[in-house]
Structure 1
């Protein structure tokens, strides 16, 4: 039987034993929720659904290109970033790929569909799970694709621009592509955030993955995209799946999302404040916090061993990271939410730890 391995499963059990909804800390979604402008755009677009969607997402591409200050032909849209990942695997058909460990599971899942062999660069706890310069040596002549999640999921660690340029140059030398997943970069503090998209014109080997999902709290709408300066790759992406992979509702939602400047400003301020609050509170409870530069916190807390179950009993869902490559039981990831919600989680954590101490 297929086993779902991501966070965000609010469907297996919809309510707690006392009839309340679970507070889902297992999925990293903007805590401000879906902006009103997106809701209105989706409602107004319902009348357009008698038509097929634009297979090239032309209006959305024009707006996004202006927003990113990039040529429109650099953008390929999909039914969420995960959909783009599977298309990229089919379009590139790499024989061998290098992945960080731990990292987002769907890179490997997508690559396995084209029988790609996987090599892992094991991130070291002693280095706070950050990639080091020796990753360049792990890129060999038989490497066809390198995938870097930046900031990484689940650790929230950033790979520096300088190291990414070294990796990119090594990829060019051996004839490999570099996929950089920047889906969570929107939540990184202003002084640390950066994008590699200014190098797209110079490096046709570079592909950047982005999504509307997390930033605008619209995972149920499904909208993501990748950026590449290679026209050959764009053609291959279109040939690797159906033409109507982005619904009319998703295209209209995306256009509306890019107008939500005030929403984004409020989101960044909230995330920065609450990220600091959660880091400090977790540290005070004896947890070791790593990275955590985005809208989620990655930490190690060996006791209680059944922490997810104890929090589940109290109405909270968190992401155990024990099933990630190169991790073990005791590692967890939680989303950053509002102060009221975060206080509730910390209270539940304290109760869980106290329960463990009694036995």
Structure 2
């Protein structure tokens, strides 16, 4: 299919800013979508090529076999897992079908609120301007509004901030006493400095009211394969979510990826370390050159408040695309104070990150120190 034709870059921006993917078809530098550029290695694609006829012509396996494959990858019991066509499928089930009253700190990933029926979501504001979660206030409010599902995203999107594990344990305990399930979205946790110290996956049997939800698109760089999972020791919750997925919700390429992924565990760790290094340098460069407030990141992206007196987030995002063919996300649609002054920048390679910083400096009128 030929690329869409545009009369000018402004028209291209208006089109792209209303899309939810397929960016690679349109020829710009994508600092908006949040994924690992260094995984999977080329050998994964070679293995796909060698089996392409079988993968296209045959039915994939169903939920039980998929859960066993994922359990082998993350060292968890298959009966504790539900595999989704991306995390989005599982979010739709949890928010749209299971939760009667869902509470979520904001700003956060919009899909949890978007997937819920109107009037079934309570938004709890993060502390401003730190954007940290006060877990005691959050738990108290969840109990007050009689929420049956609480969601936290750690590291959070768009703030790139992780919630300490002891705070998550506090939430699990307190909400558990009030029959409130706690969904912990850990889609970006592999990019945190010490993910094993933050993750609640090892704690699921100690706290039966929790479930860890994870998109594999981000850390594993497989946005097009669409794989996510929900992990819980709560057999009732696992059963309810399984009832919401259809029998062949995962395609053959995604199944094959799960089969071969254990062979590439070392490559995966190395790729995440490269992302962390690139992200760290981008953070330092933005902090020293950009002005405004640059928040220390725990994920593979940087959350920034633009300085007062200059252009706002939507204006910077548009100028960056039109003048430099680079795309970032502004936070104008997020539920937060001064939303138009915030932007989110995905880390790419060091060279691309450096070019982005230079472009932002030129737009904002700063000069290198």
TM over 0.5: same fold? Answer: yes
1:80 aligns to 2:68 (yes or no):
no
How do residues 1-359 of structure 1 correspond to structure 2 at under 5 angstroms? 8=21, 10=23, 14-15=25-26, 21-48=27-54, 49-56=56-63, 58=65, 60-92=66-98, 94-112=99-117, 115=118, 117-126=120-129, 128-132=130-134, 133-140=136-143, 142-190=146-194, 193-284=197-288, 285-302=290-307, 303-305=310-312, 306-313=315-322, 314-327=324-337, 328-354=339-365
1:22–1:57 Cα change, 3 Å: farther
Paired residue secondary structure (1:242): coil
1: CA distance between counterparts of 2:48 and 2:233? 31
Paired residue secondary structure (1:249): helix
How big is each residue's C-alpha offset from its partner over 1:273-304, in whole Å with a ceiling of 9 and x where there is no partner? Answer: 22221112112220311242110100111422
CA contact (8 A) 1:57 1:251 kept: no
CA contact (8 A) 1:155 1:290 kept: yes
Correspondence for 2:10: none
User: How big is the shift at 1:71?
Assistant: 1.1
Range with bigger deviation, 196-205 or 331-340: 196-205
1: CA distance between counterparts of 2:196 and 2:302? 16
Correspondence for 1:18: none
TM-score (norm 1): 0.88
Which protein is richer in helix relative to its size? 2
Range with bigger deviation, 37-46 or 196-205: 37-46
TM-score (norm 2): 0.86
2: CA distance between counterparts of 1:44 and 1:89? 39
User: How big is the shift at 1:83?
Assistant: 1.0
User: How big is the shift at 1:102?
Assistant: 0.2
2: CA distance between counterparts of 1:345 and 1:186? 24
Unaligned runs of 5+ in 1: 16-20
1: CA distance between counterparts of 2:64 and 2:263? 17
Range with bigger deviation, 226-235 or 43-52: 43-52
CA contact (8 A) 1:212 1:223 kept: yes
1:342–1:8 Cα change, 3 Å: farther
User: How big is the shift at 1:7?
Assistant: 6.2
How many correspondences in the alignment?
Answer: 342
Paired residue secondary structure (1:215): helix
1:253–1:192 Cα change, 3 Å: closer
User: How big is the shift at 1:345?
Assistant: 0.7
1:90–1:286 Cα change, 3 Å: closer
1:5–1:256 Cα change, 3 Å: farther
2: CA distance between counterparts of 1:218 and 1:111? 26
1: CA distance between counterparts of 2:262 and 2:215? 12
2: CA distance between counterparts of 1:35 and 1:278? 24
User: How big is the shift at 1:231?
Assistant: 2.2
Paired residue secondary structure (1:183): coil
2: CA distance between counterparts of 1:5 and 1:257? 34
CA contact (8 A) 1:156 1:296 kept: yes
How big is each residue's C-alpha offset from its partner over 1:144-167, in whole Å with a ceiling of 9 and x where there is no partner? Answer: 110000111110111111111111
1: CA distance between counterparts of 2:113 and 2:202? 27
